[in-house]
């Protein structure tokens, strides 16, 4: 069995886990929810093995780099971090309802990696990627992106619950609005720290690769726009005490910026990051 097969199994296991979490939410059944957690942990272990095996395969091919060098590998890593962060939230806040919104994000990321017409091969690194800053930059950015993805899922839950005002039986099973708002805030702070680190490590990497810390490349520009969206969100929360729906809407807006920064820029705008 190779890494592609393991990661393929992961995709369908995340789909199954998502369905279990949604069923647990609809039927309000704790045993079904526990099954969702167990399937998610199992899928995470399989995905971890898949990532590790892909790294080993890279060395066996004489290439030898971490599985973070192209869109396929970065999206797989993105899904992996989403699941780790989600499980951390589940264990911390003792609620499995969030899985009905968070796990589908991991599944969609893996489904895109598996079925989209993108290069899935293990290829030699282009000169710009041959740097020790590659791992630091990609890891920090995608931890931040994953935190923002979880925040967006929570924001959607917040808005559904607040607009239905408890009249909807399913939304009524979500955590309390104050709890959702608190977790959204924590995810935004966590993601903002890692995104900031990602931009800094990227600047250092850019200087070693292209001789300048910042070149207003489309990827860099949109990363900065994304950073400002979240900086503004946290700023108005700290200085104006704004919370609730406004922060939820801004979390969704910020995640749209994340998606465009990573996906949209790669396909719609050419630049120094066109290999990504």
- pLDDT > 90 fraction of the chain, expressed in percent and rounded: 65
- Greater model confidence, 209 or 269: 209
Q: 261 vs 210, which has greater pLDDT?
A: 261
Q: Which segment of 135-139, 221-225, 266-270, 272-276 scores lowest on mean pLDDT? A: 272-276
pLDDT higher at 270 or 161 = 161
The mean pLDDT of 65-92, rounded to a whole number, is 92
Which is more confident, 213 or 234?
234
Does the pLDDT of residue 34 top 90, yes or no? yes
Per-residue pLDDT, 272? 60
CA dihedral over 64, 40, 173, 109, signed as positive or negative = positive
Q: What is the DSSP string of 186-203?
A: HHHHHHHHHHHHHHHHHH
Mean pLDDT of the region 127-154? 89
> What is the pLDDT averaged over residues 154-183?
88
Separation of alpha carbons 115 and 70, rounded Å:
15
pLDDT band at 33 (very low <50, low <70, confident <90, very high): very high
Least confident of 20-34, 197-211, 220-234: 197-211
Token couple for 114: 């598996």
Mean pLDDT of the chain: 90
Average the pLDDT over 208-225 and give the result: 87
Q: How many CB atoms lie within 10 A of CB 86?
A: 25
Sign of CA dihedral 139, 99, 223, 226: negative
For residue 276, pLDDT over 60 is answered with no
Q: What is the pLDDT of residue 166?
A: 61
Give the 3-state secondary structure percentages of the chain, helix then strand then coil, rounded to 5: 80, 0, 20
SS3 letters across 123-187:
CCCCHHHCCCHHHHHHHHHHHHHHHHHHHHHHHHHHHHHHHHCCCCCCHHHCCCHHHHHHHHHHH
Return d(Cα 15, Cα 130) in angstroms, integer: 35
Whether the pLDDT of residue 149 is over 70: the answer is yes
What is the C-alpha end-to-end distance of the chain, expressed in Å?
A: 27
* 8 A C-beta contact, residue 257 and residue 229: yes
Rounded CA-CA distance 116/139 in Å is 22
The CA-atom distances, in angstroms, between 119 and each of 74, 80, 134, 206, 218 are 12, 19, 19, 24, 22
Whether 129 shows a pLDDT value over 90: the answer reads no
Distance from chain centroid for Cα 260? 13
pTM: 0.92
């Amino acid at each position: 069995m190779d890494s592609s097969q393991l990661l393929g199994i992961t995709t369908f296991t995340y789909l199954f886990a998502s369905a279990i979490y949604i069923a647990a939410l609809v039927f309000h059944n704790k045993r079904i929810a526990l099954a969702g957690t167990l399937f998610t942990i199992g899928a995470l272990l399989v995905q971890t093995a898949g990532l590790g095996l892909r790294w080993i395969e890279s060395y066996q091919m004489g290439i030898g780099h971490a599985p973070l060098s192209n869109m396929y590998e970065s999206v797989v890593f993105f899904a992996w971090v989403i699941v780790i962060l989600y499980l951390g939230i589940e264990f911390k806040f003792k609620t499995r309802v969030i899985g009905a919104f968070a796990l589908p994000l991991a599944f969609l990321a893996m489904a895109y990696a598996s079925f989209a017409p993108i290069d899935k091969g293990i290829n030699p690194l282009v000169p710009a990627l041959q740097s020790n800053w590659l791992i630091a930059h990609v890891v920090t950015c995608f931890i931040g992106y994953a935190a923002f993805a979880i925040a967006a899922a929570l924001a959607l839950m917040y808005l559904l619950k607040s607009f239905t005002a408890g009249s909807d039986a399913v939304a009524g099973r979500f955590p309390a609005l104050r709890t959702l708002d608190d977790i959204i805030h924590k995810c935004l702070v966590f993601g903002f720290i890692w995104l900031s680190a990602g931009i800094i490590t990227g600047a250092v990497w850019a200087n070693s690769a292209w001789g300048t810390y910042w070149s207003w490349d489309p990827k860099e520009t949109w990363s900065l726009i994304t950073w400002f969206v979240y900086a503004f969100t946290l700023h108005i929360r700290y200085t104006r005490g704004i919370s609730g729906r406004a922060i939820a809407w801004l979390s969704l807006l910020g995640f749209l910026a994340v998606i465009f920064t990573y996906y949209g820029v790669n396909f719609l705008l050419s630049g120094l990051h066109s290999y990504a």
